[in-house]
Structure 1
């Protein structure tokens, strides 16, 4: 169905080819997972399948890419639209209509699908992706996860033979991600659709893959069975990392298989107390932000309902909950830019009563409370990465250098690159570097791991931990349970605009089958959250009195 024959893709301003001498074949009805660190060429590989590369992205393509017998060099994307459906990293970039129902029908209108068939397919897709209640909603009013599902649905209605997905679950909560992946696998198994999927959250998708295409970063592509490729790859989900640490062979890729394999490991770990993931702040730390009875409504619809929240110095809080639960609305209300219909927010500013960021000038509010939004490109407005970093340094009063922070999060981004040309992960890293340069006492991050690979998330954990150690309060709104398990002291769970759980990370996420990380699911009822905790325990003698 998809064939790459000695394909090399070069960009004029790049030191090395994005892809080099790639030979691969993806068969009909196969789900192939594309993995690799941020910036290694995954989006280039996907773009070559539907002709975006090189027709719209520039660069030079050597070799031949064919899809269902059509050479993409001679067939631009419009001539492949009936065969290839593409969902990009940012769903808003692909929307062309105003409402959910209109967006689902748009592609079929362009392909002249009969009206009766269009109506039937729209209804099927609404049910398939859980969008029926949103059919008349404006696209710009949806949460990021809801927009992602609409973007996938708008492609599915055309019944393409090839589906190209770039980070399809990046904005989805765990339950919504499972629903989308279940729908995708049904298309593969029941209809023979070929799926090429790039995804950083491998813990969600690797069990569904028939093969893995690993891009190590030198332009080449390594292809093989998931367990074979991931055993030695530089990028792997926690379940594989745990299997490596325990010496399992073959490597399990699903929680069910891993639990069966882990019986002996659970016995070895019994009696060990997991090391703390991070040192929690002491009880004497001061409150940096206090919110009381905060309420937010959009067009009369409540998004946040009388929320009370206190953020302490040195504390990292993970804000979790399903898509549309009010997390982003709460963060914008705390930062002061977003609407707040009632309630109070007070941020420590050296005065006895504190300051309400909603009433302060933007520059002063940013020094007290920083916010990185779900769509980081909204904060990028200059012509190059170097200009963005220099502007951040100019506005910083604490001596931090934005370039140093960026290189820790996503190294190798040249100053000459235009911010809009970066991958989503690189854009996020750039905005994080800009906001962290200001180093406000309270930092709010809305889905900061979206588009980041495991290596970049490790650096983000280190950065967040360092900022907390300096006495700052960090809130991370996230669907990434693995990141929350490693980075947060405290987890706050929202549902329908209200806080329904608030407590230490271990207590909250282990109690939930939805939010529990892979290690916790595999080793339950033992209280381990991360692979690092397991490896530390295995290297430590069993305490006296521990059960064998």
Structure 2
């Protein structure tokens, strides 16, 4: 279905090609998962399939990509629209209408489909992706995860033969991600749709893949093959595979079920051992100072009651994870802490200040927010200019922000424009901009979106160091593995209310939805490093 014939891509002013020597064929009716570290060329490879590379992005394409016999060099994206459906990392960039229902219908209108066909397909897609209750909602009022589902639905209604998806579950809660992946599997098995997708959260998707396309990122050619075989030598892999490598299991498990079948002897070795938990108290054993407090907070956004009676305290030295399904109110709570939303009832205080009544210049010294869309914070023409502005605004020593970017994501050049970075790279840059000011309270909204496991590990180190220095950190995340590894406390939001709040092990182990992979195999252990430490 998709053939790459000695494909290479090079962008102007780049010191080396993004891709080279891609020579393989993706068969029809299979789900092929792209795997590789950040910056290895996954998004570029996906872009070549729909003709976005080079017709839209620029650059030089060598070799040839054919999709169902159509050469993407001679067919522009609009001439492939009936064949290839593409959803990029930023779903909002695809929207051309104002409401959910209109967006689902737009692609079919462009192809001139009959109104009766359009109506039927819109209804089918609303049900498939759990969007029926949102059909009349404005796209601007949706959460990031809801927008992601709408973007996927907008290409499904056209019934393409090939689906190209870049990080399709990155903004989805675990339940919604399972629903989307189940839909994709149904399309592959029942309709013979060919799905080519990249995803950093491999723990969610690798078990669904028929094949893995590994882009090592070290200059060696990509390799297409069996998921288990390639995971064994991939530079990025999910926790259950890491656990299998640690325990010496063969074959390596790709699913929790496979790992549980092999875990009997390992459970016996760990039976009398308990995992070490990170301390979140000060050196004298007392809880840290309360740096931000939300009391009986209610917030309305238009006709929607986004938050209802929320109580939360953020303490010095403590990392708190905020979890819950898409649309539960997580981003609204973070926005309320930085004064973006005026309370309808209750109160918010940050270091004695009322955020929505405080000047931003004063508030930024007390609290910093990295939003879901990092472009909201980025205005410079280059990475170097963005970092220099962050140093000035924070009153930090020159080079502070740039050093943080280099630490979190090595290899990003000074002269690169922020818009030319991947979603994960932009997120790291925005994170560095906020962390340069080192405010006592730091809020991170989906901080691992677009990050591979190595970049996420570096983020964990930075956040732990901040907590050790006495900062209070609140992460709104769907990444259960991050919460398990990093958070001292986890609070769960549902329909604007906190329904669980306590030590992370207690909270995540009590919920199959929010339990990490290792906990499902070896509870009460939550992470592979905990298991390794116990074995040693």
- Whether TM exceeds 0.5 here: the answer is yes
Partner of 1:485: 484
Cα distance in 2, alignment partners of residues 209 and 93 from structure 1: 27
Query: Any conservation in 1 of the 2:34–2:197 contact (CA below 8 Å)?
Result: yes
Q: Does 1:293 align with 2:296?
A: yes
Task: Tell me the equivalent position of 1:385.
Answer: 383
Measure the CA separation in 2 of the matches of 1:413 and 1:398.
Answer: 21
Describe the superposition over 1:346-381 as per-residue Cα deviations: whole angstroms up to 9, x where unpaired: 222xxxxx2112222111111101001111111111
The alignment status of 1:504 with 2:498, answered yes or no, reads no
User: 1:227 — aligned with what?
Assistant: 228
1:305 and 2:305 matched: no
Judge which range, 455-464 or 268-277, deviates more.
268-277
Aligned residues: 532
Which of 336, 339, 347 is the equivalent residue of 1:336?
Answer: 339
- Residue 63 of structure 1: how far off its partner (Å): 0.7
* C-alpha displacement of 1:197: 0.5
* Aligned-partner SS, 1:367: coil
Measure how far apart 1:280 and its partner are. 5.0
Q: More deviation in 22-31 or 255-264?
A: 255-264
Pairs within 5 Å for 1:234-383: 234-277=235-278, 281=282, 282-348=285-351, 354-383=352-381
The equivalent of 2:528 in structure 1 is 531
Q: Which residue of 2 aligns with 1:456?
A: 455
CA contact (8 A) 2:337 2:350 kept: no
1:213 is the counterpart of 2:216: no
Q: Which residue of 1 aligns with 2:98?
A: 98
Shift of residue 462, structure 1, vs aligned partner: 0.5
1:184 aligns with 2:184: yes
Say whether the 8 Å CA contact 2:280–2:287 is kept in structure 1: no
Alignment of 1:104-253 (within 5 A): 104-219=104-219, 220-253=221-254
Deviations 1:325-364 (A, max 9, x none): 111111100111223222222222xxxxx21122221111
Partners of 1:369 and 1:184 in 2: CA distance: 40
Cα pair 2:336 2:355 within 8 Å, conserved: no
- Supply the distance in 2 between the matched residues of 1:398 and 1:490 (Cα, whole angstroms): 31
Displacement of 1:24 after TM fit? 1.0
CA displacement at 1:279 relative to structure 2: 5.3
Whether the aligned pair in 2 keeps the contact of 1:371 and 1:444 (CA below 8 Å) is yes
Cα RMSD over matched residues? 1.1
Distance 1:233 1:280 in 2: 38
- Further displaced range: 400-409 or 244-253: 400-409
- Structure 1, residues 245-265: CA drift from partner, whole Å, max 9, x if none? 000110111111111111111
Paired position in structure 1 for 2:80:
80
Gaps of 5+ in 2: none
The equivalent residue for 1:544 is none
Q: Which moved more, 1:452-461 or 1:8-17?
A: 8-17
Query: How far did residue 419 of structure 1 move?
Result: 0.7
Match of 1:351 in 2: none
The 8 Å contact of residues 288 and 312 in structure 1, kept in 2 or not, is answered as: yes
Q: CA deviation at 1:278?
A: 5.7
CA distance in 1, matches of 2:428, 2:8: 28
Mapped partners of 2:404, 2:476: distance in 1: 21
- TM-score, normalised relative to structure 2: 0.98
Q: 1:280 to 1:125 in 2, by over 3 A?
A: farther
2-structure distance, mates of 1:182, 1:250? 25
Report the TM-score when normalising by structure 1.
0.96
Q: Distance in 2 between matches of 1:300 and 1:174?
A: 27
**1:306 match: secondary structure:** strand
Q: For 1:363 and 1:46, locate their aligned partners in 2 and report how far apart those are by CA, in whole Å.
A: 41
Unaligned runs of 5+ in 1: 349-353, 540-548
